[in-house]
Chain A
């Protein structure tokens, strides 16, 4: 079963606009991680938010976590063409030892 479920499945916006992706998960987590995957490549870590945190920033990225709703959101501000990729959230229930459980991802397209 998949821990994370991203929403929307696909998102197309104009360059410069903000992009928001959501993730819902099913079971309790220690932390939630967001990754980016460019076409044909491996996943690249973007940001990690722990279960006792509500919001975290990294550059143009802002992640929120609502453990009561078992949901998280990733906001990319001032989007660029290079942000075009698939974005995945992964739930970590085991302190990192037993892997992440990923959702199906949101495919983001930034129109120039």
Chain B
């Protein structure tokens, strides 16, 4: 199993450009999440999904959109990038807790470093 993978690993954008970050998981997890991490900070939740076709806003959703068309994929879009969106973006997934002793552990991807000029 590859676990959680993220594409691309690194990207440079100019202000106003758009892009999509792709997250894929092969663990058949229902829940998926997008976080951002800024220097000296912990992770902050952008959007999350509790199943295919569903999405919800997290703590810092402004400027981002997401889609979960397939269970294994969770896409994060930036429609018009701003320098304030320079960050490292992490995707995570987890199973539904309580089933056969499954815990609420989140499994993280390696991150995407985004620089907006």
Interface of A with B (CB < 8 Å)? 1-2, 4, 30-31, 33, 35, 40-45, 48, 88, 90, 92, 95-105
Contact B109 A42 (CB under 8 A): yes
**What count of chain B residues pass the 8 Å CB interface test?**
29
Contact B104 A88 (CB under 8 A): no
- Residue interface bits B38-76, CB-to-A below 8 A is 1, else 0: 001111110010100000101100000000000000000
Contact B42 A45 (CB under 8 A): no
- The answer, yes or no, to whether B103 is at the interface (CB within 8 Å) is yes
21 A-B interface contacts by CB (under 8 A): A2-B42, A2-B44, A42-B92, A42-B108, A43-B92, A43-B108, A45-B106, A45-B107, A88-B42, A92-B104, A96-B96, A97-B48, A98-B58, A99-B33, A99-B35, A99-B58, A100-B43, A100-B45, A101-B45, A102-B35, A104-B41
Given that A42-B110, A100-B45 are contacting pairs, would A33 and B40 also be in contact in the complex, using a CB cutoff of 8 Å? no
Contact B104 A102 (CB under 8 A): no
